[in-house]
Amino acid sequence: MSPDAPVNHGPTAYDRPLGEGEAEDLLRCICFKTGPPRAVGVELEWLIHDRERPWTPVPPHRLDAAIAALRALPLSAALTFEPGGQLELSSLPADSLMACIDTMSTDLAAVRTALGRLDLAPVGLGVDPWHPPRRLLHEPRYDALEASLDRSGPAGRAMMCSTASVQVCLDAGEEEPGPLGYGRRWQLTHLLGAVLVAAFANSPYRQGRPTGWRSTRQSLWADLDPIRALAPSGRLAPRDGWAAHVLETPVMCIRSDEAPWAVPHGLTFRDWIRTGAPRPPLRADLEYHITTLFPPVRPRGHLELRMIDAQFGDDGWIVPLAVTTALLDDPEAAETVYRTVKPLAETAGPLSAPRNPLWVGAARDGLADPELRATALTCFEVALDALPRLGASEAVQRAVSGFHDRFVARGRCPADDLPALLAMPSAQATPAAFRTEEGKKARS
């Protein structure tokens, strides 16, 4: 989620004002880099709770100690922290599903050990079920982010400071049409996305109370700025649609060497280019602007699927990563699942419409929705069939099968287990209680 500063590629490209045509060309080129799907990545966000008393807020000095300890670790993944103190690990692109899982598992083991020494633990839940939003990181970009999101209500602060996710990153796909073509994959990710929201919904509580949503995290995204968190219009081809969406979305902030950063109201990036005020935008500003857009699927050369709640259990994240990769990167599975989810388009309506009914139903009802349950059953069966072809280990296959049996086959999602866990006596409702049998089997 965090809008990271872009990498500077040299003064020539970054120091001259950006023209409108140049911006459109850049967006078409840098956001959909095509080729046979090979690389797999994952971004894991975690809430940090007291290991024994997770309902007790972690004070800033303990979080500072945790940050210092984690930054001293020799991790393969990039380590960052969200405004509310959530931990994020972003893997390097791996050349296979198992390489991604193995590398991230090694990093996570080191992270858990380091946090454990401080009596803390990373907890996988889509929304913090106990604590109100509390911003702990104060930087110009987060000040600007908060000021901009506050204009549309309290959901922005909750999203910044109280949410966590599993973000699956896969190659955009091939240039040519077909099951692995980027146009087909772009459409498939948006239809499959609602199924992933429902199957992995894991945030039914907020501030100690049930919200009425299986995925409260997804409901918060829907309540954000009505443009910033939406998918581009489906009326245009992916490259053209994304370029138009980026340029027509209001600028969240204008960076400067001095704080606070300016937070304009209603100034689209296209208008900023045309007016050149308060200063002409540069290419670096365009790349930064992209990081302040929060659609369900964000093209950043690869496709970044952002709709999955964080999962409880030490290795709960492996299941959505494995299922999503199998359904998109195995050609046979991709063709079958495309035919399976395509009928959802008839009832979905445009994803660029606020409160899209398919996604609202997925977030509210999870797999209690009969149509989503039937679709999820097929998707998991197809994924289980494809995983051996992708070289998935037997432990990973057992984890996916166990999730299928425990949740999908019964029309349930992880959120349906949380009421029982949160109703435990306080001394028992520790992060250890969120470990699933599937995760234990995957570690064995």
The ranges assigned to domains in the chain are: 37-249+293-443
- pLDDT for 380: 98
Q: What is the pLDDT of residues 119-160, one digit of tens each?
A: 999 999 999 999 999 999 889 999 999 999 999 899 999 999
- pLDDT for 389: 98
- pLDDT for 196: 98
Nearest to 432 by CA among 118, 206, 217, 112: 112
- pLDDT for 436: 46
Residue 122 host element (H or E): strand 120-123
Average pLDDT, stretch 33-38?
90
Handedness of CA 65, 71, 75, 76 (dihedral sign): positive
Q: What is the pLDDT of residues 344-373, one digit of tens each?
A: 877 666 666 557 889 999 999 999 999 999
Residue 424 host element (H or E): none
Q: What is the DSSP letter of 129?
A: S
For residue 273, pLDDT over 90 is answered with: yes
- pLDDT for 10: 44
Average pLDDT, stretch 68-77?
98
Q: How far apart are CA 87 and CA 431, in angstroms?
A: 15
Percent of the chain with pLDDT over 70: 89
* pTM for the full predicted model: 0.91
Average pLDDT, stretch 223-247?
88
Q: What is the DSSP letter of 95?
A: S
- At 440, the pLDDT band (50, 70, 90 cuts) reads very low
Looking at every residue in the chain, the average pLDDT score rounds to 90
Reduce the DSSP state of residue 196 to 3 states and report it.
helix
- pLDDT for 14: 61
Q: How far apart are CA 252 and CA 383, in angstroms?
A: 39
- pLDDT for 431: 53
Report the CATH architecture of 37-249+293-443. 2-Layer Sandwich (3.30)
The string of DSSP letters for 254-280 reads B--SSSSPB--SS-BHHHHHHH--SS-
